[in-house]
Homo-oligomer: A and B are copies of this chain.
Amino acid sequence: MRDFYVSRRDRAAALIARREPVVYEGGEYADGLSPDRLQQYEQNGFIVLENVFDADEVSILREEVEAMSRDPDIRARPEAVRERGGEALRSIFRVHELGKHLAELPRNPRLLDVARQILGSEVYIHQSRANIKPGFRGKEFYWHSDFETWHVEDGMPAMRAVSCSVLLNDNNTCNGPLMLIPGSHRQFVACVGETPEDNYLKSLRKQEIGVPDECSLRLLSEDAGVTPVIASPGSVIFFDCNTLHSSAANLSPWPRNNVFMVYNSVQNMLVEPFHGMAPRPEHIAAREHVQTLSPIAVHS
């Protein structure tokens, strides 16, 4: 398969125009975004939906994440990724299989239908995780495109995946909210540097490879600026797999936990990683255990 998005090879940083659409035609769904909202997603590369889940629904999810964070069995698993220099958890991967309520979340039609609508096909979960950003301790995520990593390290062929972040806490100025560069999804930032073997063991704690250069970041954010998502629990952010995003450390006393799920199109299944890298483990990038999602009935 030809690699249209070469990154981390022996060349300088570059901006490459996106080849694929942002919103695909032909997905089947009962509910989805309104035409206005869909257009907003297409234009900015993300959309924030408020009050998708009510307080009760959120607290069930939040409590499940908190219980998992304390569970010694979970903490001993490879799915549990720690912050640098400590025992504090940064992420728990594959929560859509490890959790009971979290397992139902990606099949909730309020989310699934939006993913199908955007990707124009049936979908499956490429990756899921609880991102845990405890008060005072949660560390930053520097700017990156998820697709850059998924393409280079996992062999995701095309930009036909959408990330979905379900906010379990209030996201405010002080606890490291998600920040996005509107419109950045239309350019692929080829990054400098080669990928070491087993890079993920380090990069999930602090990304140092696959980091966009400052010049590209400046170009992309010069006019568009940066949008911080200040929103309440139960809000949902959908963002394109190639939208540049980051979040600062959490210096506040308030935790900032969210559930992050990546819907990938069944027409965009992983191939062998480019440039001969070994595939990352299944809990980081679903390759073998892929299940097309069907909606579940929910009481809303």
Q: Residues on A close to B: CB < 8 A?
A: 135-137, 140, 142-143, 173-174, 176-177, 179, 214, 217-218, 221-222, 225-226, 228, 230, 246-249, 251-253
Contact, CB under 8 Å: B253 / A217? yes
- Please tell me which one of the listed residues B176, B226, B253 contacts residue A248 in the complex, with CB atoms under 8 A apart: B176
Secondary structure type dominating chain A contacts: loop
Which 4 pairs of residues, A with B, have the shortest CB-CB distance?
A248-B248, A173-B228, A221-B253, A173-B173
CB-CB under 8 A for A135 and B252, given A226-B174, A230-B173: no
Q: In the bound complex, do residue A135 and residue B253 qualify as a contact, i.e. CB atoms below 8 Å apart?
A: no
* Closest-CB distance, A230 to chain B (whole angstroms): 7
B252 touches A226 (CB 8 A): yes
Q: Are A143 and B251 in contact (CB under 8 A)?
A: yes
Q: How many copies of this chain does one complex carry?
A: 2
Residues from chain B with a CB closer than 8 A to the CB of A253 are 217-218, 221-222, 225-226
B-side contacts of A225, CB under 8 Å: 253
Some 22 contacts from A to B, beta carbons below 8 A apart, are A135-B218, A136-B143, A136-B214, A136-B217, A136-B218, A137-B214, A140-B249, A140-B251, A142-B251, A143-B251, A173-B177, A173-B228, A173-B230, A174-B226, A174-B228, A176-B248, A179-B251, A218-B253, A222-B253, A225-B253, A247-B251, A249-B249
Question: Nearest chain B CB to A108's CB is how many angstroms away?
Answer: 30
Residue of B nearest to A176 (CB): B248
Chain B nearest CB from A11 CB (Å) reads 22
Chain B residue contacts of A252, Cβ below 8 A: 179, 221, 226
Q: Which residue of the partner chain B has the closest CB to A220?
A: B253
- In the assembly, what is the distance between CA of A228 and CA of B228, in Å? 14
Complex CA distance for A94 and B228, rounded to whole angstroms: 35
